[in-house]
């Protein structure tokens, strides 16, 4: 497995990470814990060293899963987790609004350290920008945790360029995590140029469009009510039908490369910048192996131009989130 550095920080990780959220949260009922532990360990055996979780996934259960699965590999892997939500088990999906007050951040860090079974959190992201708390206070709280040896690196998720700059001035930001793929390219406008200028790594989540870019979902796919995609406008049948053109494009390139659409979608991201590390999630070993295979898919400048040119003619239908959720992003 190739390695990449996240920005100027020298935080070295595998070129692809593993997003662990779907094992416990968001994509239907939680999966069997022992099977997921085996999958995470299989990822380590195949060279993946970068694992992504969050306090709110579950809530709490995903951090516990990742902590148990990776306990034998301390010092060999990088675990990223996140803070910034008010958690109430009675609220929808456990989310009761944002809370990035410094005292809350420090309290959450203690819980995450215990659940992850570590002495220090490798990469600690603010999960969503909290409009009630100045980003300087958030960065200052993480700076304190870094001084205390409880956190190594500071990250932001779904933050706008100006927020990234303000945070970075207080405590250097190692990585920004946001959705990025061929069907959500907003980071290219301001966030990626800001990361490049400041020497910050970029971690695309949902690099396979929440499964859509694999080619395994179509207008007839039915989502369980416990699957987050059931409420996303972009996953409504008419939007899926309209957006199929993008999957067809990936399929065409994949056939030429003897690869799969998912591998081409990931290879496209890897080809954008050397400091981009996608974190596709999966709960299946064959998908994990397919995703890892993307690292070996070589897209030439001509391939990339062809993908860009064809993708630019496709108008993606449907908002990525319902309005009340999109408002919670810092973009």
Q: How far is Cα 315 from Cα 322, in angstroms, rounded to an integer?
A: 19
- 191-207 exposure pattern, b = at least 16 Cβ within 10 A, e = fewer: bbebbeebbbbbbbbbb
- Is 125 noted as a catalytic residue in this protein? no
Number of Cβ within 10 Å of residue 60's Cβ equals 18
Catalytic residue among 57, 60, 124, 180: 57
211: closest CA among 229, 188, 186, 226? Answer: 229
Q: How far is Cα 85 from Cα 153, in angstroms, rounded to an integer?
A: 19
- Give yes or no for a contact between 110 and 143, defined as CB atoms under 8 angstroms apart: no
Q: How far is Cα 79 from Cα 77, in angstroms, rounded to an integer?
A: 7
**Helical residues (DSSP H) of the chain, grouped into ranges:** 33-45, 61-70, 102-116, 135-147, 161-170, 191-198, 237-257, 261-272, 285-293, 301-312, 323-326
Show the CA angle centred on residue 295, arms to residues 290 and 298, nearest 5°. 115
Return the residue matching tokens 């206070």. Answer: 137
Alpha-carbon torsion angle 98, 100, 105, 111, nearest 10: 0
- The three-class DSSP label of residue 104 is helix
Number of Cβ within 10 Å of residue 240's Cβ equals 20
Question: Which residues does the annotation mark as catalytic?
Answer: 57
């Amino acid at each position: 497995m190739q390695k990449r550095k996240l920005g100027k920080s020298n935080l070295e990780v595998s070129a692809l990470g593993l997003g662990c959220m779907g094992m416990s949260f968001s994509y239907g009922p939680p999966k069997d814990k022992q099977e997921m532990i085996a999958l995470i360990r299989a990822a380590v055996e195949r060279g993946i060293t970068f694992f992504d979780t969050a306090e709110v996934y579950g809530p709490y259960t995903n951090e516990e899963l990742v902590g148990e699965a990776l306990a034998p590999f301390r010092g060999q892997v990088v675990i990223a987790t996140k803070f910034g939500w008010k958690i109430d088990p009675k609220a929808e999906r456990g989310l009761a609004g944002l809370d990035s007050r410094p005292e809350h951040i420090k309290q959450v860090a203690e819980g995450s350290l215990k659940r992850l079974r570590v002495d220090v959190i490798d990469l600690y992201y603010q999960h969503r920008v909290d409009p009630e708390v100045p980003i300087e206070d958030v960065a200052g709280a993480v700076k304190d945790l870094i001084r205390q040896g409880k956190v190594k690196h500071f990250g932001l998720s779904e933050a706008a360029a100006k927020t990234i700059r303000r945070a970075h001035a207080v405590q250097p930001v190692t990585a920004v995590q946001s959705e990025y793929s061929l069907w959500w390219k907003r980071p290219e406008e301001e966030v990626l140029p800001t990361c490049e200028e400041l020497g910050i790594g970029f971690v695309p989540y949902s690099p396979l469009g929440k499964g859509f870019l694999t080619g395994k979902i179509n207008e007839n796919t039915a989502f369980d009510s416990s699957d987050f995609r059931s409420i996303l406008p972009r996953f409504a049948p008419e939007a899926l039908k309209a957006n199929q053109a993008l999957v067809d494009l990936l399929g065409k390139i994949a056939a030429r490369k003897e690869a799969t659409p998912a591998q081409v979608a990931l290879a496209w991201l890897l080809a954008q910048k050397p400091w981009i590390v996608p974190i596709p999630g999966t709960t299946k070993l064959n998908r994990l192996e397919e995703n890892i295979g993307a690292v070996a898919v070589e897209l030439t400048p001509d391939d990339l131009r062809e993908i860009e040119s064809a993708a630019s003619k496709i108008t993606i239908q449907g908002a990525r989130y319902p309005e009340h959720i999109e408002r919670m992003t810092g973009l």
